[in-house]
C-alpha cells in the first residue's frame, strides 16, 4: 500500500525535476535571447540617432529657406503695394512676432501701415450682446447699412466701415469713423493704434491669427466666428483682405480651417498658413497684392492650401 511518505517523495522529485529543467533551459537560452535583445537595442539606438540627424538637417534647411526668403523677399514684393495703406488686425491668440516680422516687408512693398486693430474677447462674448447692440445703434455712421443679423455681425460691419475703403471708393466722414473706433475701444471691445496723428482709412487688410487650438469650446467658436465676420466685412469694403497664421493654423480647429471650409468667404479672401516662416511672410504680402488685383488664393502647406505661395507680381 502506497503511504503518504511515498506521495511526498514523489512530489519533491517532480518539483526538483522542474527546477533543474528551468535552470538548464535558462542557461541554454540565455545567450541567444541576450544577443537578440542587444541587437534590437543597437538597431533602435541607430534609428533614433538617424532620426535626430534628419530632424537637425530639416531644421537647417528650414532656417536656410527662411533666410533666403527674407533676403530676396524685399525685392520680390518691391512696389507691389505702392499707394496702398494696410490695416493690421490681431486677436488674443496672435503671436506678436507675426506683426513685427511682417511690417518691414509691407514697407518694402511700398505700403503704409494704417494702424493696428486688436480684437478683445468681449466682442464675441454672448453675455455682452446687448452692450454691443446698444453701442452699434449709438455710433452707426450715416449711409452705412447694417445687416439684419447678430450684434457681432452688425458691429464688424460698422468697424469695417470706419477703418477701410476701396481705392476708388468713398469713405465715411472722419468724425463718424473716429466715433465708431473710440466707442468700441472705450467699451473694451477692441484696441486700436493709429499709425499717425489722425485716423486714415486703409485700402487693404491683413488679419493675423494664432495656431489651431487643441480644443475649441463654445467661447472659442464664438471668437472665431466674430473674426470671420470681420474678415468678410473688411473684404467687402476694401480692395481685399488676407488672413494669415503660423504653421498649424489650418488645423481642424483653426481659424484658417474655418475660412477655407466656408464656401462663400474662401472665394473672396486669401489665406496663408505659415506666416511664422520667411516664405509665409513673403506669401502674405504677395497675397495682398493679388487681392488688390482682384485675385484670391489659399497658400502654404496646410489643409486647403492651393499652392505653396502666390505667383510673382506682374511688372
Query: How many whole angstroms separate alpha carbon 87 and alpha carbon 311?
Result: 23
Beta 190-194 vs 112-119: how paired, if at all? antiparallel
Buried b vs exposed e over 209-241: b needs ≥16 C-beta within 10 Å? bbbbbeeeeeebebbbbbbbbbbbbbbebbbbb
pLDDT digits (tens, 9 = 90+) for 188-208: 999 999 998 999 999 999 999
pLDDT at res. 45: 72
The confidence band for 73, taking pLDDT boundaries of 50, 70 and 90, is confident
Beta 270-272 vs 298-299: how paired, if at all? parallel
Strands (E), the chain: 85-90, 112-119, 190-194, 204-208, 241-244, 270-272, 298-299
Mean pLDDT value across residues 2-13: 62
Q: Look at residue 23 and tell me whether its pLDDT is greater than 70.
A: no
Domain borders along the chain are 1-77, 81-299
Grid cell of 30 as nine digits: 540565455
pLDDT digits (tens, 9 = 90+) for 147-183: 999 999 999 999 999 999 999 999 999 999 999 999 9
pLDDT at res. 76: 86
The confidence band for 74, taking pLDDT boundaries of 50, 70 and 90, is confident
For residues 159 and 184, the answer to whether their CB atoms sit within 8 Å is yes
Q: Look at residue 268 and tell me whether its pLDDT is greater than 80.
A: yes
Q: Look at residue 69 and tell me whether its pLDDT is greater than 60.
A: no
Residue 7 — φ and ψ, nearest 5°? -60, -40
Mean pLDDT value across residues 200-224: 96
The confidence band for 103, taking pLDDT boundaries of 50, 70 and 90, is very high
Amino acid at each position: 500500500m502506497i503511504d503518504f511518505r511515498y506521495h511526498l517523495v514523489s512530489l519533491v522529485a517532480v518539483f526538483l525535476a522542474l527546477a533543474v529543467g528551468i535552470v538548464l533551459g535558462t542557461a541554454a537560452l540565455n545567450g541567444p535571447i541576450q544577443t537578440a535583445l542587444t541587437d534590437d537595442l543597437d538597431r533602435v539606438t541607430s534609428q533614433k540617432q538617424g532620426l535626430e540627424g534628419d530632424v537637425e538637417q530639416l531644421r537647417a534647411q528650414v532656417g536656410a529657406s527662411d533666410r533666403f526668403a527674407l533676403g530676396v523677399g524685399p525685392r520680390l514684393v518691391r512696389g507691389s503695394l505702392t499707394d496702398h495703406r494696410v490695416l493690421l488686425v490681431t486677436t488674443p491668440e496672435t503671436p506678436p512676432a507675426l506683426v513685427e516680422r511682417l511690417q518691414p516687408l509691407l514697407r518694402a512693398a511700398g505700403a503704409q501701415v494704417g494702424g493696428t486693430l486688436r480684437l478683445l474677447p468681449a466682442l464675441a462674448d454672448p453675455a455682452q450682446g446687448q452692450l454691443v447692440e446698444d453701442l452699434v445703434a449709438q455710433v452707426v455712421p450715416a449711409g452705412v447699412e447694417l445687416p439684419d443679423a447678430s450684434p457681432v455681425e452688425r458691429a464688424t460691419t460698422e468697424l469695417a466701415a470706419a477703418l477701410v475703403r476701396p481705392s476708388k471708393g468713398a469713405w465715411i466722414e472722419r468724425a463718424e469713423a473716429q466715433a465708431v473706433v473710440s466707442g468700441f475701444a472705450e467699451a473694451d471691445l477692441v484696441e486700436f493704434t493709429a499709425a499717425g496723428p489722425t485716423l486714415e482709412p486703409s485700402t487693404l487688410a491683413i488679419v493675423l491669427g494664432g495656431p489651431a487650438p487643441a480644443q475649441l469650446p463654445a467661447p472659442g467658436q464664438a471668437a472665431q466666428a466674430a473674426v470671420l465676420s470681420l474678415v468678410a466685412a473688411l473684404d467687402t469694403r476694401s480692395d481685399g483682405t488676407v488672413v494669415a497664421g503660423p504653421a498649424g493654423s489650418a488645423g481642424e480647429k483653426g481659424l484658417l480651417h474655418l475660412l477655407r471650409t466656408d464656401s462663400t468667404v474662401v472665394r473672396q479672401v486669401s489665406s496663408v498658413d505659415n506666416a511664422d516662416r520667411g516664405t509665409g511672410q513673403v506669401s502674405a504680402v504677395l497675397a495682398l497684392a493679388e487681392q488688390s488685383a482682384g485675385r484670391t488664393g489659399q497658400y502654404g502647406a496646410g489643409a486647403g492650401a492651393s499652392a505653396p505661395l502666390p505667383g510673382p507680381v506682374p511688372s
